[in-house]
Each structure stands twice: as C-alpha cells, then as structure tokens.
Amino acid sequence: MTDRNKVTVLGIGNILMGDEGFGVHFVRWFSKRYRTPDDVRIVDGGTLGYALLDIICSGDHLIVVDVLKAQDSPGSIYRFTKEEMELHMPPPTSAHEVTFPDVLFKTELMGESPETIFLCIVPQNYKDMNLEMNPFLYEKFNDVEKLLLAELRKLDIHPERLSDA
C-alpha cells in the first residue's frame, strides 16, 4: 500500500439496531463539526466487515468508535488499546459471521495492522430494531469528542472546529 493515511477514525455499528449504531452516528456528527487534515480520514464503517480491510490497512493509526456490550451503566465510556480490547471481545458465534475482531485479525495476518485505539460506550439497548438511539447517548457525543480530540492531539493532529452542529 503506497497511499497511506496517518489516521483513520472509524465509526462502526448497525444503525438499524438503536444504540448499536452509536459509532456511525458519532462519526457523522463529528465530521460536520470539524475539518481534518488530508492525512486523516473519518469513515462511517457501518457493518461492512471485510470490506473495511482496505480502509483499515491504508492508515498508520486507527481510532475505532463503537459500543461495548459490558456489565456497566449505559453511557459508560472506555478507551482501550487493541490488546486491552481483545480481553472484552466476545467469542465467535458462527464460522459464517464476520465480526470486527475477525477483520482486525486479518489485517495482522496481512502484516498491515495499524496502531489501534478503541473509544467505546456501553449501550442501553442494542437488540431491538430501532432507527433511533436512546436520547441520552447523543448527550455523550461531547464526551467522546473530547477523547477523540485528545487521541488526535497525541498524534500532532489538530482538527479545525467548524460549528456546533
């Protein structure tokens, strides 16, 4: 891969499943509030599975925004390295189901795995078909924004604030 980004910010999740779509909703919101340098990419990864391989492998650093199904209060926010996150990843449920950990493992096999950080939030409801997240999760966008900006600053990246959208 020759055209590498310095950083990819990847929001993942299923927006058809309520709170499960937090990562996608967050990166859409963030991209309306900030202009990032050309070597930073903000990506709505949805549920693309292996289709994310090129996107992930094209960056030196990956910041993933997602939900964490944990026994904690809904709205609790976590920051993990990839190694720390592996302790919280569920075991595979089917040989036919591609999970995000499967995609990351494939990048490692390819020798193109970026340095990865996870910014995760505990959802309230992620099992019901619902296009809307719980309203209190939208209120957590500002907290996740602060964490994301701190991660970008560590990489000497300073997005330009556009609006309060």
Distances from the Cα of 53 to the Cαs of 89, 113, 158, in angstroms? 19, 10, 26
**Residue 164 belongs to some domain of the structure:** no
| In-domain check, residue 165 | no
61 domain residue, yes or no: yes
- Per the structure, how many domains does the chain have? 1
**162 lies in some domain:** no
pLDDT, residue 108, reads 82
Percent of the chain with pLDDT over 90: 59
112: CB partners within 8 A, 6+ apart: 1, 56, 57
Reported as a single tens digit per residue, the pLDDT across 59-78 is 899 999 999 988 899 999 99
Domain assignment of residue 14, given as a range: 5-157
Q: Give the pLDDT confidence of 151-160 residue by residue, as tens digits.
A: 999 999 999 9
**Per the domain annotation, does 163 fall within a domain?**
no
CATH number at residue 75: 3.40.50.1450
